[in-house]
Amino acid sequence: MLILSPSILAADFTKLGQQIQETAEAGAQYIHLDVMDGMFVPQISFGMPVIETIRKATDKIFDVHLMIEDPGRYIEAFASIGADIITVHAEACTHLDRVIQQIKAAGKKAGVALNPATPLSALDYVLPDLDMVLIMTVNPGFGGQKLIPYCLDKVRELRSRIRELGLSTDIEVDGGIKAANAAEVIRAGANVLVGGSAVFSGDVAANTRAFIQVFREFENE
């Protein structure tokens, strides 16, 4: 199934509840929550209080992308405030296997994210344990950047590995994704698309529908 996960990093925070509602009504299935600690990435975004507050406003799936050092410290905390999928960066975990098991023990779906320069081999031994792999298509830290083309080669390679292993792991792409390049990333093998600026700049409902329209064309193929 093709899924749109709007990243609220690019939303108008004075109208957050309303904008989330608009994406949901227009067909977006997830909400992508970018947590940044000012260490793993330069920016500091938002944390538990914001997530906890919007949890009350929507029943959409919360796709929490932790761009924080040593995320194992906070898995139970994010699980308890309503995260559904928790994604940690391989580069930020000294004990990646342990953190994946922590996420699963908390009853949540486990994702691992890879920065553009991180090879897929970082996942060699843990792939069967994962619900989702997030292939960063920009260097994480900021919205509004341009997709790095070689990252789509990683998506293609990962999709074929997942097929070979007979798994059904989701592949999420994040960074520089727009309705205009959605078809290309889907063809490469991604099925969960994060949209930040492409969803929240301008008409949120129309932007969301533009993605959903691309999804429909694939589903009718």
Q: Which residues bind ligand DX5 (CB under 6 A)?
A: 7, 9-10, 32, 34, 65, 138, 140-145, 174-177, 194-198
- The binder of 197, among Zn ion, ligand DX5, none, by C-beta within 5 to 8 A per type, is ligand DX5
* 10, 51, 65, 93: which one binds Zn ion (CB under 5 A): 65
Q: What angle do CA 123, 126, 130 make, to 5 degrees?
A: 100
3-state helix, strand, coil in the chain (%, to 5): 45, 20, 35
**Considering beta carbons, is residue 34 or 170 the nearer one to Zn ion?**
34
How far apart CA 190 and CA 184 sit, in angstroms, is 9
Max Cα-Cα span within the chain = 46
**3-state secondary structure (DSSP) of residue 217:** helix
Residues 167-186 that bind Zn ion (CB under 5 A): 174
- The pair of structure tokens assigned to 148 is 């790095």
Active-site hit among 131, 153, 174, 203: 174
Q: CB–CB of 172/204 below 8 Å?
A: no
- The pair of structure tokens assigned to 15 is 């109208």
- The binder of 111, among ligand DX5, Zn ion, none, by C-beta within 5 to 8 A per type, is none
Annotated catalytic residue 97: no
Annotated catalytic residue 129: no
**Considering beta carbons, is residue 34 or 131 the nearer one to ligand DX5?**
34
CA atoms within 13 A on the CB side of 151: 28
Stretch that binds Zn ion, among 26-34, 77-85, 104-112, 119-127 (CB under 5 A): 26-34
How far apart CA 130 and CA 64 sit, in angstroms, is 15
How far apart CA 10 and CA 8 sit, in angstroms, is 5
How far apart CA 44 and CA 132 sit, in angstroms, is 24
- The binder of 207, among Zn ion, ligand DX5, none, by C-beta within 5 to 8 A per type, is none
**Considering beta carbons, is residue 158 or 182 the nearer one to ligand DX5?**
182
**Considering beta carbons, is residue 170 or 174 the nearer one to Zn ion?**
174
- The binder of 141, among Zn ion, ligand DX5, none, by C-beta within 5 to 8 A per type, is ligand DX5
**Considering beta carbons, is residue 13 or 125 the nearer one to Zn ion?**
13
- The binder of 175, among Zn ion, ligand DX5, none, by C-beta within 5 to 8 A per type, is ligand DX5
Which residues carry out catalysis? 34, 174
